[in-house]
Every structure is written in C-alpha cells, then in structure tokens.
Amino acid sequence: SAGGEKYRPAFHFSPKAHWMNDPNGMVYYNGVYHLFFQYHPGGTTWGPMHWGHATSRDLFTWEEKPIALYPDSLGTIFSGSAVIDKDNTAGFGKNAMVAIFTHHNQKIEEAKTGLHQYQSIAYSKDEGETWTKYKGNPVLPNPGITDFRDPKVMWFEQGKKWIMTLATKDRITFYSSPDLKAWKRESDFGASLGAHGGVWECPDLFSLKSNGKTVWVLLVSINPGGPNGGSATQYFTGSFDGNKFVPNSTQQKWVDYGADDYAGVTWSNTGDRKIFLGWMNNWQYANQVPTKTWRGATTIARELSLESAGNEYYLRSMPVREISPLLKSVYKVTNVSIGKELDLSSHIKPLNGKFKIDLSLAKSEKVDIVFENRDGEQLIIGYDEKNNNFFIDRTRSGDTSFEKGFAKKHIAQRISKSKNLKFSIIFDEASVELFSDNGLTVMTDIFFSHSFWDTLKIRTSSDIKLSDISVWTIDLKKRGR
C-alpha cells in the first residue's frame, strides 16, 4: 500500500476517508452484523459527531454504507447502541431497529450549565439503511450530570423490560423502560470500585454462562487511567437482578492490557454468543497517528467467554470462529527442539504484514518473539517469567515521533497458571493483537513501521521444546471480495 492508503488494514474495519472513534449501535439482524461508529465526515481529526455505518456477514469483510445519523437541532450524535424491537414495544413496528444514543449539544456546553448530554432514539424499518429520529427526543433528559452518555441497551427477559447502562461521570447508572421511551432510574454502581484515573465511558452489561451458572459482566471504558497509559476498558463480574449490579470481586481487571482497544462493547441480538470489538486506538494520540486520508479502525471481532479460577471470574477473548475459513496455513511444526533461537523469517517474508502465528511452548525464563524489517525497526512480543508478564515492545517499531508516549513497552500481568505458554498473534498492516493463554490475557497495539516485518526470530533463555507453531496467511479473497 502506498500514498494515502499507507497503513490501511485489510480485514479490520476502517472508514474509506476521515475520522472514526468508538464502535456504536452494534446489532445483528438477518445474517448481517451492523457496525455504526463515531464518525467525523468533515476531517481526519475528531469533530462534530455522526454515526457512520458498515455491514459484514463474516465480521472480517466490511462494506461501508451511507452515514446513518446526522447532527440535528438537539446536538451531534455521540456513542450509543442499537436493538431489534421484536415485540414492537416502542410502536415503531415489529422488528424495528432502534438506536439509542447521546445527543451532545454544543450551545448548551458553551453555556456551561453541564446539561449538554442527554439520550435520544431513532428507528429504522429497512435494516439500518434509513433512519427516523423520534419526535419525543430526548427520551432521557440530563438530570444535572456533566458526563451523561453512551447508553447501552439490552432486553432483560426476567423482568420483561429494557435496561439502559449509562456512563455517568465516575459511575454507571442503570435505567429501565417498557418501551425505550420512558426511562426510570434503577440504581448506580462503581463510584468507589474499579479504576478511576479518568471519566467512565461506553459501558456494556451482559450475561455469560460459566459452568451452567449465569454471571453478569459489566464493561467500563475509562479515559485516561488505562494499565499502560491513556484509555482502556476495565470489567466487573457479578449479579444483576434488573435493579442492581452487585460485584463479586474487587480485583482490578482489564478486557485488553494493550494500548489500543477502547470503547469496545458487544453486539446485540446474537443469542448466546457475545461478540466484542473496540476502537483500535487511544485518546492519548488518536488525533496524531500518521495515517493520511483516514484515522481510526476497529479491533477484530472477539468472542467472549468466562473462565473461573477460585472465586474469580476472568474474561476470555478469542478471535471469532469466522476467521477460520480465511486462514491458509503456510507453515506448521509440532514437537521441535528449538534450542535458544528459531528463525522463521522465510515463512513470514512473503506475507506482507498480514498473518497469524500460533505458538505454544513450555514456560521458560524468557521468550522473545522478535519481528524486524529492512528499515532496522523492531517489534517484540514476549513473556518474562521473573515478573510473570506478557509484553509488547513497540519502542523501535517505526514512526513513533507523533506523540512522546507512543514509543513504549506495554506489559500485562499473566493470569493463567498453566506451565505452557500459548500465544496467538494477528498482524494486519499496522496493528498487532495478542491473545495469550487462549485469550485470558489480551494485548492490542498499533504501530507504524516503514516496511513489513520480514524477519521473525523466536528466542528463549533456555533450550526448550516448541510443542506447536503454525503460521497462516489471512486471505479475504476466499470470501469473494
């Protein structure tokens, strides 16, 4: 890729032109995954927000659609969610797609009353192609809270009502409604729990099964205050009864320990599957990253599940299974003694920066998975037993000049206690996603190298045996693109 398209990912969504941030309104309907997103069609930096729109059938091949929601007299269109109203509770029609979003009113903001954010709805009867804003907007006026935004709505079957999970400055407030129009405050959560290095944003509440038991998961993005600086997404596990969320742990946990996964939430209307993706960026430098014609992309879609360990529940995120038909094996060995270094350069060289590597090996003191290019740049992914950390080091990964905190080594405490290490690593042009220990510790980082990684060396501190290594290309053409 050259010129204005340099750094464009192939199988991650990015807008053809201009700025994007948070994924919004993620809803599955009639075989199609809808992805709306915070979009500024007037430039490549953040500005007056619209909802852009893209669709996919396989979560990897994306088609960008016309803008779905434009600013109006109530404000610009901030983040929110979408649901399918199967029972026509709102009266817009059976199976109407209903978007619930924050209106952000700049005039009120300038008046400094703090009342500039409130929740509104819009509906579509043609699968997200065209939208009508509800005449009674806003449906949830501002009660006097400066940061009052990012509604995530779900149907709560036990109580036969809609639940809205809303970010309200330093906490989450839950609201309920029979019809998506009249909202009643239920409770709030979190003012004295979790990370508070920044304002709370973009929450999500959903349940997962763990050994037959229903566990509720609450995702909360914060900016700043992430584990490796800037913005990141934490989560809580607990119970929810339609009124209150009660946490079952006080341990601090993060959906993704890397620098570049923010404001991620899950798709609605996917049955028992919980599919997540985030904005693959960080507010610390999002407006400065060196792409030319657009800025921003999403992470790949990840399926969430729970792992229990003692009294704790941990989120597992793995690439969705829809990736399988796109993978073409280029190299595979099992049970090989690698000594202290294994050189796999000849296998990744032809792959032009788009590939997946799966690696499992016995735990050794140190494992460095070192990627280099002909420009002398380097990215290292690894595990350090002394500190029990996974890491991604992008200190010398290419162009890092646009922001002083970008060139950095990011670390994540290991959660798994297994004697075997597992890495699953996905590269797509200018991003790397690391799913270690089958998704128990996840790290996502972007980088801007001047050429593709064409050498790969795996270095360990002791002579060890690799149980498994596979290299795959990710080939979208197989899906007729």
Which 49-68 positions form the footprint of ligand FRU (CB under 6 A)?
49
Q: Provide the Cα torsion 413, 415, 417, 419; round to 10°.
A: -60
Q: Does 282 bind ligand FRU (CB under 6 A)?
A: no
Least distance in angstroms from the C-beta of 222 to ligand FRU: 10
> Which residue of 62, 78, 189, 435 would you call a contact of ligand FRU, by CB under 6 A?
78
Which 421-480 positions form the footprint of ligand FRU (CB under 6 A)?
none
Q: Does 261 bind ligand FRU (CB under 6 A)?
A: no
Least distance in angstroms from the C-beta of 40 to ligand FRU: 8
Q: Does 377 bind ligand FRU (CB under 6 A)?
A: no
Tokens at 257, concatenated = 């320990």
Nearer to ligand FRU, 150 or 437 (CB): 150
Least distance in angstroms from the C-beta of 343 to ligand FRU: 41
> Which residue of 102, 233, 281, 397 would you call a contact of ligand FRU, by CB under 6 A?
102
Residue 346 DSSP SS3: helix
Name 294's bridge partners.
18
Q: Does 22 bind ligand FRU (CB under 6 A)?
A: yes
235-239 long-range CB contacts below 8 Å, 24 or more apart? 235/315, 236/189, 236/190, 236/193, 236/194, 237/306, 237/312, 237/313, 239/215
Nearer to ligand FRU, 92 or 235 (CB): 235
> Which residue of 202, 369, 412, 425 would you call a contact of ligand FRU, by CB under 6 A?
202
What would the DSSP string read from start to end of 204-268? EEEEEEETTEEEEEEEEEEES--TTSS-EEEEEEEEE-SS-EEES----EES--SSS-EEEEE-B
Least distance in angstroms from the C-beta of 183 to ligand FRU: 18
Nearer to ligand FRU, 22 or 428 (CB): 22
158-162 long-range CB contacts below 8 Å, 24 or more apart? 158/241, 158/242, 159/242, 161/242, 162/83, 162/89
Catalytic residue among 22, 150, 260, 437: 22
Least distance in angstroms from the C-beta of 259 to ligand FRU: 14
The helix/strand count (H/E) of the chain reads as 2, 32
Cβ atoms of 96 and 83 closer than 8 Å = no
Tokens at 191, concatenated = 């003012």
Cβ atoms of 131 and 101 closer than 8 Å = no
How many residues bind ligand FRU, per CB under 6 A?
A: 12
Nearest to 282 by CA among 431, 399, 437, 101: 431
Question: How far is C-alpha 360 from the chain's CA centre?
Answer: 25
Least distance in angstroms from the C-beta of 82 to ligand FRU: 15
Nearer to ligand FRU, 202 or 323 (CB): 202
Q: Does 263 bind ligand FRU (CB under 6 A)?
A: yes
**CB-CB neighbours of 468 under 10 Å:** 15
Q: Does 79 bind ligand FRU (CB under 6 A)?
A: yes
Nearer to ligand FRU, 189 or 200 (CB): 200
Least distance in angstroms from the C-beta of 147 to ligand FRU: 8
22 annotated active-site: yes
Which 149-168 positions form the footprint of ligand FRU (CB under 6 A)?
149-150
Quickly tell me which residue has 């599955």 as its tokens: 28
Cβ atoms of 382 and 391 closer than 8 Å = yes
Q: Does 277 bind ligand FRU (CB under 6 A)?
A: no
Cβ atoms of 398 and 377 closer than 8 Å = yes
Q: Does 201 bind ligand FRU (CB under 6 A)?
A: yes
Nearer to ligand FRU, 23 or 353 (CB): 23
> Which residues contribute to the site for ligand FRU (CB under 6 A)?
21-22, 38, 49, 78-79, 102, 149-150, 201-202, 263
Catalytic residue numbers read 22
